[in-house]
């Protein structure tokens, strides 16, 4: 872990009780390895006895705090309370994602996410993340959802055009170029299509470029303009885009996204949150380009595979213009 930490700690001792570490810490411009959030059960020898320490410590993830490890690079903000003892620590609170990307055969841009900690699960968070990526052959937008305990995540997919989970995984690994994805035909010639190894390498270079050059720019501009979230994206394939969001107070947030490349996409959304358990959102979107064959205004017509509205508003398909109105209620 590296970065800047401000705050104060107090050590209190009482006869017959563990020493109590209390206070508050605020992290800024910090990089945290993913393993720090998911400790290994074998991190300490079974014969080792932990020090008799107890905690009552507030932890704040502020400006430019990111979780980075290999294929993961996600910004996070929020407040946590560290309690319990060194032998059995607990965390209570929530960290919200402020953008970033994860690699799952290809690089996915994180659209939203959260880590929720509750004392009954110790320091293992409940994860909920939504991320998107685009495949050019055939033109497909893919939505990845990961949820569940950090040690037992469930990963689900949606796509536009709509494909099954098996077909989507085949697209992600590039199997369509060999005719190995049932029901999916590559668009045009496959002679110039990158292999899975080339796609992985390109995704890695794009990810490292974002970390090294765009991250500091995001943090500096976002802080100076008072933005809640600013993301910039640039790829070797000529794609360029960005998104921003700003809190208007009272649980109301406005966001805007725009991207350039083979298809120019724009979207603007107004979201109202109610006590973190319910959210209502209105999103307007448009995308240039020619709708694919077999579709109406850019949306594949297949009543057996309905369009995922979350994906529709995040990545509008070519030749489409419209809006989505959604209501979400969480029961955790």
pLDDT tens digits, one per residue of 301-325:
454 554 566 676 777 777 788 888 8
The rounded distance, in Å, linking the Cα atoms of 91 and 74 is: 20
The rounded distance, in Å, linking the Cα atoms of 130 and 116 is: 15
Q: Are 137 and 187 in contact (CB under 8 A)?
A: yes
Whether residue 147 has pLDDT greater than 80: yes
Query: How long is the chain?
Result: 332
pLDDT tens digits, one per residue of 95-118:
888 877 787 777 788 888 888 899
pLDDT tens digits, one per residue of 21-50:
999 999 887 888 766 666 555 444 555 667
pLDDT tens digits, one per residue of 132-144:
888 877 778 888 8
What are the respective helix, strand and coil percentages of the chain, to the nearest 5? Answer: 15, 50, 35
The rounded distance, in Å, linking the Cα atoms of 17 and 11 is: 12
The rounded distance, in Å, linking the Cα atoms of 13 and 147 is: 40
The rounded distance, in Å, linking the Cα atoms of 286 and 265 is: 6
Q: How confident is the model at residue 297 (pLDDT cuts 50, 70, 90)?
A: very low
Q: What is the DSSP letter of 189?
A: -
What pTM value is reported for the model? 0.68
**Residue for token digits 């590296």?**
2
Tell me the three state secondary structure of residue 210: helix
């Amino acid at each position: 872990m590296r970065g800047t930490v401000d705050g104060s700690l107090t050590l209190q001792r009482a006869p017959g009780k563990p020493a109590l570490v209390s206070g508050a810490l605020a992290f800024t411009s910090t990089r945290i390895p993913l393993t720090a959030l998911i400790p290994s059960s074998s991190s300490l020898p079974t014969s080792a006895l932990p020090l008799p320490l107890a905690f009552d410590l507030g932890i704040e993830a502020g400006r430019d705090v990111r979780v980075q490890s290999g294929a993961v690079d996600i910004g996070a903000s929020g407040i946590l309370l560290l309690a319990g003892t060194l032998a059995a620590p607990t965390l209570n609170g929530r960290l919200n994602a402020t953008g970033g990307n994860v690699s799952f055969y290809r690089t996915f841009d994180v659209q939203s996410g959260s880590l929720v900690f509750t004392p009954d699960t110790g320091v293992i968070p409940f994860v909920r993340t939504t991320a998107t990526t685009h495949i050019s052959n055939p033109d497909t937008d893919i939505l990845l959802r990961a949820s569940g305990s950090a040690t037992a995540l469930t990963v689900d997919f949606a796509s536009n055009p709509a494909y099954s989970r098996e077909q989507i995984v085949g697209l992600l690994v590039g199997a369509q170029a060999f005719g190995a994805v049932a029901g999916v035909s590559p668009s045009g010639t496959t002679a110039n299509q990158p292999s899975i190894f080339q796609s992985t390498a390109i995704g890695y270079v794009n990810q490292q470029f974002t970390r090294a050059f765009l991250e500091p720019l995001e943090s500096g501009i976002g802080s100076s303009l008072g933005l809640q979230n600013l993301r910039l994206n640039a790829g070797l394939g000529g794609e360029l885009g960005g998104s921003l969001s700003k809190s208007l107070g009272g649980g109301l947030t406005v966001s805007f996204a725009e991207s350039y490349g083979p298809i120019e996409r724009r979207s603007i959304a107004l979201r109202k949150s109610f006590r973190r358990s319910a959210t209502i959102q209105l999103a307007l979107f448009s995308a240039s380009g020619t709708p694919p064959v077999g579709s109406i205004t850019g949306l594949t017509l297949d009543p057996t595979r309905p369009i995922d509205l979350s994906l529709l508003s995040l990545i509008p398909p070519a030749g489409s213009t419209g809006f989505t109105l959604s209501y979400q209620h969480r029961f955790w």
